[in-house]
Structure 1
Amino acid sequence: MTVGILAHLLGTLPYAQLADKVAEHRFSYVQLALSKAIAGIDFSLGKLSPGLASEIGGAFADRGVRIAVLGCYASLIDLDEDNFRYNVDRFKEHLRHARHFGAPIVATEVGVPQDPGRLAQHAALLDRALEELVDEADRWGAVIGLEAAQGHLIDTPETLAAAIERFPSSCVGVVLDPCNLLDGRTLDDQDQVVDEAFRLLGTRIVSAHAKDLVRVADGGVQETAAGLGQLHYGRFWEKLEAQKPHGFVTLEAVAAAQMEAAARFVREGRETARRGLSGG
């Protein structure tokens, strides 16, 4: 079974050197946030080209590493019109060039509301952004991966499902991170939360993230590497492999010294789930 990693967790490096490092750690694929991961290149709006994308994608492919996901994490609900326009246009640029990187998915969380008293305005901006992005993704054969996260306008399985309902295009998918759906209040009820996520979103999952949570002294939670916390991963792998066998799973919140153990934890857990489902 495969596992990938957020490329910038290995450092911000020239792309060939970064591809070498990913291959040395035996990751099969990466989620690549260009500005976070690649040094020495200006990735601001208007700089991407088929040639640059092919050069970077080719460097990873030559080392046996796929770019599973392009990360383009920028607020799609920014109340400042110039910022909003820049973020949407940059995401559209990623969608246009994703195929040249060899990446089927461009992923984002939608943004943290700047003003909780103006949630209706934030929601209207999200719909405006998604209307443009869905059209662009459909035109270029790319997939938008929407990710729910605590504190964001889309923060639960229900709010993510509602967004997909409003934009039911097949080019809209879900990046599922179970830890992003949990906090200190819901960690003990995680089975119910994760079950609901699969019920509402399971058929739309295009990628998953793997990290873990531990409870801290004040009752909140803290992120750690997959396998070192309290997430019920055996249950999660069973559901994921049943719904999306051999899907992309990418490590998050992992230090260099933890990468080998975390990758082994994911591979072995997914394989155990697969064998259980097949009766092997």
Structure 2
Amino acid sequence: MLNFTIRGHDLSGVETVQELAKQTKKQGIHNLQLALGMSFPDLPSGAGNLNPGMGAAIRRELAQADVQVGILSCYVNMIHPDAEIREGLLQKFESYLRHARYFGAAMVASETGCVLPEIRYTQDNFSDAAFADMVGVIRRLVKSGEEAGMLVGIEPGLNHPLYSLERVEQLLDAVESDYLGIILDPTNLITSEDYQEQVALVEKAFERFGDKIVAVHLKDYTIEENQIIPVNLGEGLIDYAAITAIIAKHKPLSYVVLEETKDDHIVKALQLLEASEAKP
């Protein structure tokens, strides 16, 4: 059994917390990964805007629909090459760590960013220098997480310095803390050349650092012109039954986020997942 979760911004036409609560409940979901700026673009949500009252109000409104924020998103380019911009982004993340408990969240999530101003694939991310820079930043954020009593959830991916299982292990060795967790998105770690090995990758991840995995993103995909293209769960190539079985074995009741599955496709995805769970 798993705690299936959706991103708030995968629901279309939602402009208020009340609408988010209603639409989430309609899909049969009880957990959200909430990106404030993406779900509510008119709500100021920068470093200086978050406050305990905001968190409490959103938490209370969602609870009326039996919905909670499991993961608070603060996806930033934490190794932005401009020092001033970087500092602003890190202060925003630290503000989210301080305030996440008022929203009821278990963690604040981000990827690790890119050596370029815009996050995209570049082999420059794969250098030891980029990795060392990233480690220093995460060490700072984890210290803030320790002070706030809040998990820092870091998501690896091929567009970042944290691009492989080996690099994840190196990060965990470099930053030893109960407040550093890994959000595993196996679709972010595959290419059109090795996607057939995705299930084995998930198994290896749990074998190597499963104790640090705090959530999993389940993102289905197709391959077009040698590119991984996200689609609704059940419409692509991901072996969701095998992957969810691995998660349930190692981390029962873990947050599993149906990333990029949109609107009424969420109900269909849940039916597929429940059917796969029911099989012996």
Q: TM-score, normalised by structure 2?
A: 0.90
- Give the 3 Å change call, closer, same or farther, for CA 117–140 of structure 1 in structure 2: closer
1:235 pairs with 2:242? yes
| Worse-superposed segment, 122-131 or 112-121 | 112-121
In the superposition, relative to structure 1, how do residues 116 and 97 fare at CA in structure 2: closer, same or farther (>3 Å)? same
Q: Which runs of 5+ in 1 are unaligned?
A: none
For the residue of structure 1 that corresponds to 2:109, the secondary structure is strand
Alignment of 1:67-106 (within 5 A): 67-106=69-108
Superposition pairs of residues 1-280 of structure 1, within 5 angstroms: 1=1, 2-11=3-12, 12-114=14-116, 116-117=123-124, 119-216=127-224, 218-272=225-279, 276=280
Structure-1-length-normalised TM-score:
0.90
Distance verdict in 2 for CA 1:82–1:267, change over 3 Å: farther
Quote the residue 2:119 is aligned against.
Answer: none
Q: Given the superposition, is the C-alpha separation of residues 270 and 98 from structure 1 closer, same or farther in structure 2, using an over 3 Å criterion?
A: farther
| Contact 2:216/2:257 (8 A) holds in 1 | yes
Shift of 1:195: 2.4
Is 2:187–2:220's contact at 8 Å kept on the other side of the alignment? yes
Q: CA deviation at 1:39?
A: 4.2
Matched positions, count: 272
Gaps of 5+ in 2: 117-121
The alpha-carbon distance between structure 1 residues 190 and 117, as it changes in their structure 2 partners (threshold 3 A), is closer
Residue deviations 1:218-239, cap 9 Å, x none?
Answer: 3333211222222222221221
Identity %: 25
Q: CA RMSD in A?
A: 1.9
- Return the offset for 1:155: 1.5
Cα distance change, pair 23–31 in 1 and its aligned pair in 2 (3 A): same
